[in-house]
A and B are shown apart, each in its own frame.
Chain A
Amino acid sequence: MRVSLFVTCLGDRFFADAAADAVRLLRSLDVDVDFPKNQTCCGQPAWNAGHIPQAREMAAHTAAVFADSDYVVLPSGSCAAMLRCTYPRLLEAPVVAERSYELAEFLVDVLEITELGSGLEGRRLAYHHGCHALRELEVEEQPVRLLESAGAKIVPWEMDQECCGFGGLFAVKAPEVSIAMADRKLDTLPDVETVVSADGGCLLQLEGRARRRGVPIPFRPLASLLWEARSGRA
């Protein structure tokens, strides 16, 4: 099986190691991974802010880049939701929409994997559900199941499905509210060693706020944890 990795603009710049882990993970599952070099940004920042022509341009570019891909896998819930749920509003016949998957979703729903390994034995994690993965892609169980089957304990967190306050440009247009939202998440966090999420924007937001407040918990991308689950290598 061949998949194209869409690393996304945030993934390329801020989560390069995690994206590399996604490649290692997929290869270890006998998946052929390619990386179309012309990929850039899916257009979500422009779409969210209401700048439609710009969003459409980026969507058209992305759709062309992945036109020949059998599957497009993204280590990002919100960008996957952009391709699948929003591209049909921006483009005529965006075949890429039906072929795009968030990483954990791809593993569970397409590859039908239930267990990756036992590399997370004894780990206590909290899982932050990004809004678009949860409500647009309806990806909820998949990442949690993969982490748990590798031995991790996902500690219940009353706010695990509440927005972190990132929201694209919202984070800088209403920064005080955005930060208060992140604080709610941090203030309710249970006793865990790491917080995991499939969304780069959420991770930047939560980690940025946690570091500023001196909360010493790491916030890590799902792809890295899944590779640890498989390889046992931290």
Chain B
Amino acid sequence: MDVHSRDYRARARQIIEETPEVREAVNAATQTFVDNRQKAFADLDGTALSRWAERVKSHALSHLADYLEEAEARLVERGAHVHWAETASDVHQIFECIVREQGVKKAVKAKSMLSEEIGLNPFLESCGVEVFETDLGEYIIQLLGEPPSHIVGPSIHKSLDDTRVIFHERLGTPRDASPERLAEAARDLLRDAFLTADLGISGGNFLVAETGSIALIENEGNIRLSTSVPRIHIALVGIEKVLPKWADLPTFLQVTAKSATGQPVGCFVSMIQGPGGSPGDEPDGPEELHVVLVDNGRSRLLADPEAWEALRCVRCGACLNICPVYRQTGGHAYGYVYSGPIGGILGPGLVGLEETLPLPFASSACGACADVCPVRIPIPDLLHVWRQRAVERGLTSDVERSVLGLLTSTATRPRLFGWAEKAAGLLPAPVLRHLPMLREWSAGREPPRLEGPTFRELWDEGIE
């Protein structure tokens, strides 16, 4: 996927000013997620759980190569093909080979952020493959030609009425169709796709090294169909998704579902460890299973001693839901597949800092995300690491550097500082309004009142 983060401010402004309904839809949906998450953790020791999850993930990441090889060996034993892809174009090549060799014309696809990250759909379409997103939310935005706006709820920025309109136009449902009617229309169309597709594509929430199992969480049943009905299944799994032991999985499934939607677990959890008829216990399933282990910047981030912790992320979206910055715009403002707080620490790590600026700055540093992350990623600290680096590499504005330089040199000269505080009160309002930064302030806010004595002056006069 192309990255358009540079336009963050302009896009955010556009969303806020021109499509207030997006802000409303995102606010309402994230609030529901937040409330449900809170209820789901109400009777649990969330801190103990997240400490445990943090430990397991950090351990897995620090022995990543070993666990990946273990998972590969188990999968191969059961007849799966395992591919290693370093970059997005490696993934494309792997798909191209399979699609060509097997004459694939139609693919059904389960929701996968990694597939968005590597721009899979446009690539497959360029190979002549018709791709059907089968998650309802993904299907809606596929009809609209939009990228996902949220890790868990890709069409979170759309209201029910938006969906009615697009379904009316594209699928001929009544303009006032009930949600059930809309789901039925999508189901009818997708059922046909499931039955006629030659390829099913999925991501993977977790990959268990010990057993070579790919675990997938969902609510709609579409992932189970996508991965079991078509002749071929390709699972795209980021290399950071590995868990050491089978016994680790149940708790991770619960913690992820609770953090994401507040559900005890997802409605469906699929475990995939080989193609149909593979040795052992897999009577059903596709004839061929391909597992593509994708790096795409992850090893580089893992080697970064200050920023690697972002790789613990299980993509639950809790940090987006709680983020007051994300909630004003939804994900599209960020111009990168991962938005919100996690986007600000994954983007620079996976793609590069320069390419994803100003995402680490698209945060008021309120710290709410750190409270909800189920794997205890210190998100505010990592955002700050990338901010420091942006400054060190000269990627921030000259105005900002001058203003802060001026503040520093004044603040280390107390007499000058006291004088400056006093003098600021003498500046006429129209002048103030045009100073850099105050201009941005004044566009939607009254400037602070500057009249009256400073505290220093009051102190000198004597406080009664």
Interface residues of B (CB under 8 A from A): 8-9, 12-13, 16-17, 23, 27, 324-325, 327-329, 333, 358, 361-368, 370-371, 384, 386-391, 396, 400-401, 404-405, 407-408, 410-412, 414, 417-418, 421, 424-425, 437-438, 440-441, 443-450, 452-459, 463-464
Q: Which residues of A contact B358 (CB under 8 A)?
A: 173-174
The verdict on A2 contacting chain B, using a C-beta distance below 8 Å, is no
State whether A178 touches B407 (Cβ < 8 A).
Answer: no
| Selected A-B contacts with CB under 8 Å, 14 pairs | A12-B456, A20-B455, A49-B400, A131-B365, A163-B325, A166-B364, A172-B438, A173-B358, A174-B9, A174-B361, A177-B16, A180-B328, A182-B445, A205-B445
Q: Which residues A1-45 have CB closer than 8 A to chain B?
A: 7, 9, 11-17, 19-20, 23-24, 35, 37-41, 43, 45
A side interface size, CB within 8 A: 64
In the complex the two chains form, is B404's CB within 8 Å of A45's CB?
yes
**Inside 8 A of A122's CB, which chain B residues have their CB?**
none
Q: A14-B449, A51-B401 given as contacts; is B361 within 8 A of A57 (CB)?
A: no
A151–B404 alpha-carbon span in the complex (Å): 43
Q: Chain A: which residue is nearest B456 at the CB level?
A: A12
B-binding segment of A94-102, A112-120, A142-150, A208-216: A208-216
Interface residue SS majority, chain A: helix
Q: Which A residues are CB-close (under 8 A) to B8?
A: 174
> Contacts A51-B404, A57-B408, A209-B445; is A177 near B325 (CB within 8 Å)?
yes
Beyond the given pairs A54-B405, A174-B358, 4 more chain A to chain B contacts, judged by CB atoms under 8 angstroms and listed by A's residue number, are A50-B387, A170-B363, A176-B16, A209-B444
Q: Is the CB–CB distance between A41 and B444 below 8 Å?
A: no
Q: Which residues of B contact A49 (CB under 8 A)?
A: 387, 391, 396, 400, 404
Which 3 A-B residue pairings sit nearest by Cβ, starting from the closest? A167-B364, A50-B387, A208-B445
A212 to B456, CA, bound (A): 29
Cβ-neighbour of A168 out of B365, B396, B412 (below 8 A) = B365
| B367 and A40 form a contact (CB under 8 A) | no
CB-CB under 8 A for A9 and B411, given A174-B8, A181-B364, A204-B448:
yes
Contacts of B361 in A (CB 8 A): 170, 173-174
Q: Given that A40-B417, A135-B366, A174-B12 are contacting pairs, would A16 and B453 also be in contact in the complex, using a CB cutoff of 8 Å? A: yes
Q: Are A212 and B444 in contact (CB under 8 A)?
A: yes
B407 with A45: CB separation less than 8 A: yes
Do A176 and B364 form a contact, CB below 8 Å, given A54-B408, A171-B441? Answer: no
Which single residue of chain A is at the shortest CB-CB distance from B459?
A: A35
CA distance in complex: A135, B408 (Å): 27
B residues less than 8 Å from A162 (CB atoms): 324, 366, 368
User: CB-CB contacts of A31-75 with B at 8 A, as 1s and 0s?
Assistant: 000010111110101101111101001100100010000000000
Mask, A160-197, CB within 8 Å of B = 1, is: 00110111111111111111111010000000000000
- Could you tell me the distance between the alpha carbons of A97 and B329 in the complex, rounded to whole angstroms? 37
Chain A residues near B412 (CB, 8 Å)?
40, 57-58, 61
- Nearest-neighbour CB distance to chain A for B305, whole angstroms, equals 16
B456 proximity list for chain A (CB < 8 A): 7, 12, 37
Pairwise interchain contact A50-B411, C-beta atoms closer than 8 A: no
A121 in the interface (beta carbon within 8 A): no
B411 lies within 8 A of A13 (CB): no
Residue in A131, A169, A209 whose beta carbon sits within 8 Å of that of B367 in the complex: A131
State A65–B414 Cα separation when bound (angstroms): 10
